[in-house]
Amino acid sequence: MDGKFGYIKKNLGDIQEKIDRAVLCRDPAYGGAGKKVRLMAVTKTVEPEKINCAIAAGVDLIGENRAGELLEKHDKIAGGAEIHFIGNLQTNKVKYIIDKVSLIQSVNSIRLAEEIDKRASQHGLKMDILAEVNIGGEESKTGISPGEALDFVSKLKEFGNLRVKGLMTMAPPPEKSKKAQTLKLFSEMREIFVDISSKKMDNIDMEILSMGMSEDFEEAISRGANVVRIGRAIFGEKF
């Protein structure tokens, strides 16, 4: 497997070097140097053999975007890696994935939160979640608006089978957003994260700021991300 998919191991090594360098250079205003950043391998359309190669190379967190694809691949994925759901989740699909993932990063409505809470209760689970924020205000993306974030999270704390662990966002792609604008959006996201953290609300444990992908993870780390979601840079352009 190493020979066939050796590029995956090499890519992971290169990415980890960039992560370590970005963490080392991070301004104290955004968490300071030395704060751990976790690498998520995004595995949408990636076959289990490649995913297992990444896990064998040290990946301990993977992210799936589609409920149906997650169900198809779940039993073929090697143990040793935590699975998060990161895509737009329809309420009628929650029941299928509720016991297959350890965290849902893309909670963007009270209706979805209600369904996750209901299904978690049926399985005797406490489901960890992130609130998804549409930091760039893009019509093509899901997520609550930045101005709604505090109120939204304060409502999520009322659900007994959910545990809010932080926030997730996705910046506009580079062709639509210059680096300075990307940094500005990530800075705004960090401010929202810190503001909600300062409220010390029950059932809200702001541990995770998930932002940054293949094209902008270094910028995200520089502005306080502690989980970066990377697919293309690991598995290749077409995965």
What's the per-residue H, E or C state across 98-152?
A: CCCCCEEEEECCHHHHHHHHHHHHHCCCCEEEEEEECCCCCCCCCCECHHHHHHH
Closest C-alpha to 132, from 198, 208, 44? 208
> CATH fold of 6-235, please?
TIM Barrel (3.20.20)
Mean pLDDT (the chain) is 94
CA gap 207, 210 in Å, rounded: 10
Q: Which residues lie closer than 8 Å to 40 by C-beta, 6 or more apart?
A: 61, 62, 63, 84, 86, 210, 227, 228, 229, 230
What is the average per-residue pLDDT within 207-231?
A: 97
Which one has a higher pLDDT value, 36 or 95? Answer: 95
Give the pLDDT score at 139: 87
Per-residue buried b or exposed e for 192-210, using 16+ beta carbons within 10 Å of the residue's own CB: bbeebbeeebeebebebbb
Residue 36 DSSP class: -
Give the pLDDT score at 178: 85
Return the structure tokens found at 152.
């939204």
* Residue ranges of domains in the chain: 6-235
- Would you call 159 exposed, middle or buried from its count of C-beta atoms within 10 A (0-12, 13-18, 19+)? buried
Give the pLDDT score at 110: 98
The one-letter amino acid at 117: D
Residue 216 predicted with pLDDT over 50: yes
Cβ atoms of 71 and 100 closer than 8 Å: yes
Q: Which residues lie closer than 8 Å to 73 by C-beta, 6 or more apart?
A: 43, 47, 48, 51, 64
186-203 pLDDT per residue, tens:
999 999 999 999 999 988
Calculate what percentage of the chain has a pLDDT beyond 90: 84
CA gap 229, 40 in Å, rounded: 5
Which one has a higher pLDDT value, 105 or 1? Answer: 105
Residue with tokens 């401010």: 191
Which one has a higher pLDDT value, 89 or 5? Answer: 89
Closest C-alpha to 239, from 68, 92, 43, 80? 43
Give the pLDDT score at 239: 40
Long-range CB pairs of 196-199, under 8 A, 24+ apart, other chains included:
196/149, 196/150, 196/153, 196/167, 199/150, 199/154
